[in-house]
Chain A
Amino acid sequence: ETGVTQSPTHLIKTRGQQVTLRCSSQSGHNTVSWYQQALGQGPQFIFQYYREEENGRGNFPPRFSGLQFPNYSSELNVNALELDDSALYLCASSSTPGSLGYTFGSGTRLTVV
């Protein structure tokens, strides 16, 4: 058991729709990072949240947004879905932003058709 749970595991959406992906972190993990992994590629950093505030962002447009809640859960929201958004979305949590010990979730496979 990884201690980080992501839901749903698989999702199919239509272009233009909106999607919310969820991540439940380990208790005490105040930092969560979200990554997008396209097929055959390494994960790309989307953003990080620390204590419910955005704490760094990668090269993703504003239609990718997030929320972090006091109960160690978080959300990744993507508006106006595009076909290229089809990917595996991973969350990783740690106790602090500078911590080197991250725990990854199993990911959500999003397919946009």
Chain B
Amino acid sequence: KNEVEQSPQNLTAQEGEFITINCSYSVGISALHWLQQHPGGGIVSLFMLSSGKKKHGRLIATINIQEKHSSLHITASHPRDSAVYICAATPNTGNQFYFGTGTSLTVIP
């Protein structure tokens, strides 16, 4: 069983739709990260959360520590949002990330 589980694996949306990607984790964490990976492979960090909620433009990330659950929301989705979104946890012990398998998002014009 993976330490970090994401859903859905694949998501197709119409431009303008509100999108939610979910992440659950089973380890104690010091931070939860949402990352964006484009087809070329490069990873960009979107958010790093340890509690509450963060917002950046049309992106919102929330975390519920008690339920060990985080969500990434995209409002007014756009085709340029098409990418793989990865949830990653930094555990309380150890120095590595635990990654989810990613959610492949396609936004259709």
Contacts and interface: CB of A to CB of B under 8 A. Distances in A.
Interface of A: 2, 31, 33, 35, 37, 40-45, 48, 50, 55-56, 58, 88, 90, 92, 97-98, 100-107, 109
B45 A56 contact: no
Given A100-B30, A100-B90, A56 B41 contact: no
A42 B96 contact: no
Interface stretch (B55-63, B73-81, B97-105): B97-105
A77 B10 CA distance: 33
A88 B41 contact: yes
16 contacts: A2-B42, A31-B95, A37-B41, A40-B102, A42-B2, A42-B88, A44-B99, A45-B97, A55-B95, A90-B43, A92-B97, A97-B95, A101-B48, A104-B35, A104-B44, A106-B40
A78 to B, nearest CB: 18
Mostly helix, strand, loop or mixed at chain B's interface? strand
B21 interface: no
Nearest to A42: B99
- Pick the 5 closest A-B CB pairs, nearest first: A42-B99, A106-B42, A107-B41, A104-B43, A45-B96
Interface of B: 2, 4, 30-31, 35, 40-45, 48, 86, 88, 90, 94-102
Contacts of B98: 45
B41 A42 contact: no
B41 A106 contact: yes
